[in-house]
């Protein structure tokens, strides 16, 4: 369950399609994270999707990303903001097994094959049919859990974002022992850099794909 403050500004997100509560996919407490520009230094960032849909609601853009500033997290938590019986915690489409905790660390990353400017960066070699295989082997291009950096996907390109805008990878969840989207897929959330600077999470773009 997410931390929903006892404050009239916040609510538990409801699906625009099913009219039932969405599922908490992830909650990031930036106080506990090593600071990474241009992300906030504090506050909670929550991601909600639809576990009952085999496409997780993305065909209808039926997801919610909600940011709660640090000063509002001090409000008491609602004891029961919604009818818990309405939430589908586990079914055949659930991408997450149980309740998991991730610990953040700063890492250095090489550009991924899915990076929008990858071909321009390596134009001298990209015509070589063996280059992509060699590159992915050398730098271990695997879709991991991450915030910021270079995104990865299974199908090779991101349909949800425009190449002429400056997007930041807000969250990527890959495939691990207890997290799996479809057939070893990856889920990505993007935000325009200007929106992130203003803490405006109303225009987040997202997609998931699998092999």
Q: How far apart are CA 107 and CA 147, in angstroms?
A: 10
Q: Compute CA distances 51 → 94, 137, 143, 188, 201, whole Å.
A: 5, 33, 21, 16, 21
Per-residue pLDDT at 11 exceeds 80:
yes
Per-residue pLDDT at 45 exceeds 80:
yes
Domain at 107-211: CATH code: 2.30.320.10
Tokens at residue 1, please?
Answer: 């369950």
Per-residue model confidence as pLDDT tens digits over 106-144: 988 887 777 777 777 777 776 787 887 777 777 765 667
- What is the per-residue pLDDT for 26? 92
Q: Compute CA distances 50 → 60, 90, 197, whole Å.
A: 11, 11, 28
In this structure, the number of other CB atoms found within 10 A of the CB of residue 117 comes to: 10
DSSP summary character for residue 150: -
Per-residue model confidence as pLDDT tens digits over 154-191: 666 677 677 778 889 999 987 777 877 767 678 899 99
Q: What is the pTM of this model?
A: 0.84
What is the sign, positive or negative, of the torsion defined by CA atoms of 112, 40, 100, 205? negative
Comparing 100 with 105, which gets the higher pLDDT? 105
What is the sign, positive or negative, of the torsion defined by CA atoms of 158, 58, 96, 32? positive
Domain boundaries along the sequence of the chain: 1-89, 107-211
């Amino acid at each position: 369950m997410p931390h929903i403050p006892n404050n009239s500004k916040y609510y538990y997100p409801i699906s625009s399609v099913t009219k039932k509560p969405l599922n908490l996919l992830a909650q990031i407490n930036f106080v506990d994270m090593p600071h990474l520009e241009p992300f906030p230094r504090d506050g909670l960032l929550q991601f909600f999707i639809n576990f009952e849909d085999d496409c997780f609601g993305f065909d209808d853009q039926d997801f919610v990303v909600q940011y709660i500033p640090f000063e509002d997290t001090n409000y008491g938590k609602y004891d029961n903001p919604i009818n818990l019986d309405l939430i589908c915690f586990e079914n055949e489409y659930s991408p997450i097994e149980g309740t998991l905790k991730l610990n953040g660390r700063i890492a250095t990353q090489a550009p991924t094959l899915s990076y929008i400017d990858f071909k321009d960066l390596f134009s001298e070699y990209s015509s070589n049919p063996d280059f992509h295989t060699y590159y992915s082997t050398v730098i271990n291009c695997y879709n991991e859990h991450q915030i910021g950096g270079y995104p990865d996907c299974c199908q090779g390109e991101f349909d949800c974002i425009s190449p002429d805008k400056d997007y930041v990878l807000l969250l990527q969840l890959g495939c691990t022992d207890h997290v799996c989207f479809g057939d070893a897929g990856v889920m990505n959330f993007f935000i325009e850099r200007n929106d992130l600077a203003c803490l405006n999470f109303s225009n987040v773009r997202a997609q998931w794909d699998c092999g």
